[in-house]
Structure 1
Amino acid sequence: MLQLTAAWTLGQASSLALAQNAVPPASAPAAGFADLMPAFWKPYDKGRALDSPQRVERLMSEFFEPNAAAYRLAGLTVTPQRVRAWLPKFDGMSDAARLLHRAFAAIYETQQGHFTQALPDSQVKVSPVWLMPSLFTFDAHLEPQGPGQPLPLFFAPDGILRFHGVDADLAVLFAHEWFHCYHALRAPLISLDPKPGVHEALWVEGLATYASQQLHPEATLTQVLLDDAALAATPPAVLQRAARAMLDVWESQDPAASTPFLDMGYRGDWPPRVGYYAGLLAAQQLGQRTSLQVMAGWDRGDLSHRLRPVIESLSKG
């Protein structure tokens, strides 16, 4: 896997001083790649000496409002209150975020090549890619627009640093998100439905997790689970309990029914995003006799009867 540096720490990031001419400019972005970070850095840098209300006003008027359409596309509503709460935390990582931004395009190109080599029938360039601050809302995020529509993919340097750390290895994250794009082409009914059934949402995330593991077999379980050490340490009894709860709402298309299993903000009887782990275990079992490409083609009407017995088995230990 390609890392930003061999050992990239906050201290090293700070020591680089990150003046505009201290680091070479980022590589030219690939086709379909919209980098909003240069437009963000301008008002951010100009406003460092201002007090908080003025800084927020400048960022809103010079960056967030002019890019409101991109944020709507990402499903993110930006308000002055959200920016004000986010800004002090971002200040503490801004040097590292600038380094990540400058390295991002080259890493993006390399990992895209790795992914298309592994899955030659993929069409990752079909998805427009955006790089933008997310106010810690996401690290990487797909926002389905519906069948037949482009599937935009968003990456956020602030979210990547917040959820993965300054020594983030982006290979698994790229593989996970690009597999979602691939899966959307192969199984659009479940992948592009804004309100999938619980079992469908479980499979979409679980199969992407499994795909990232297959493409990067040297990755640890924690890395495959997107650097969530608590999730990787989930005891078997807790996984069983969560699997039983999944079976209770298996067909539900109520988004609230999926929240306990897939939402990062869930607080309850098991770790947030336990569905990623359960889905990974299910895909591992099914993958013993079926290729990744074939499993990616299981769509609505074909998926449930294949997946349910595996989750039932997991619920019984």
Structure 2
Amino acid sequence: MPVISYSPVILTVPGRPVDLQVRVSAPTTGTDLPIILLSHGHGFANNLSSLNGYAPLANDWAARGFVVVQPTHLSSRTLTSLVADAPGAPYFWRSRAEDMSQILDQFDAIENAVPGLAGRVNREHVAVAGHSLGGFTTTQLLGAQIVDPETGEIADLREPRIKQGIVLAAPGRGDVLNGPMADAIDFARTIDFSTMTTPALVVIGDKDDSQHFTDLGPEWHADPYHLAPAPKSLLTVFGAEHLLGGIQGYDAAETTDEDPQRVATIAQLTAAYLQTQFHVDETAFQTAADELVKLASVEAK
């Protein structure tokens, strides 16, 4: 169905170095619409790591009946000159998760800012999705814990208002980090998925070999499925590398495995998963999995 995309909606957050800006994409018609909070990754391109990225997913999800809210996290390259010396730079792992809670706290302002959206949203049906570093943010919001490397204290950033998760090519366990870039994500060394109790679909590419972080191979990205408690589902996309066919932007030069059909498959299956979980269509996920069996496999626990 037709989609409206509105940005920026500007939210003031006390103590944040800059205001929190978000993009909202939603279908032009319909009510009782579930929410997807979409966390961008930490890629090399400027605007793909911001509210302007991930259009292939955001537009598709909105057309399928979701309200998609995309923040520009402090880790975005669009903000580097403004926040380079701020606490938590350059990855802002804690702030990224807190951004999503702020969005839910200020959702009245978001609904009122976007023309035609007020009164059409189901705030009980909230999901979080994220890719790569955004996937790490997603696992935290679903309950995964880490030991803060600066304080030595356990960081629990679970957001109870979030009922479902879509974890896209996220980092796996930290005790196998041995690649040349391992120290760059030192905060991830203590990730504990055993506390990630919120239901989720973990999405991986069977060619996503992140040698710069670990020599464990593509299976490393499945750790949020294998090491977290049920209920969880695992979607393995055949032939997909880390950018999963190009989910981060249309025709992005940094995509190494560009494949529009692969992106469409991921968009369809992830939307169908949430439609089933939120009881919009009880058979949507199984039907989509059966239709796309040659492009991806699904397992669950």
Normalised to the residue count of structure 2, the TM-score between the two structures is: 0.29
Give the number of the structure whose alpha-carbon radius of gyration is greater. 1
In the superposition, the TM-score normalised over structure 1's length comes to 0.28
Higher strand content, 1 or 2: 2
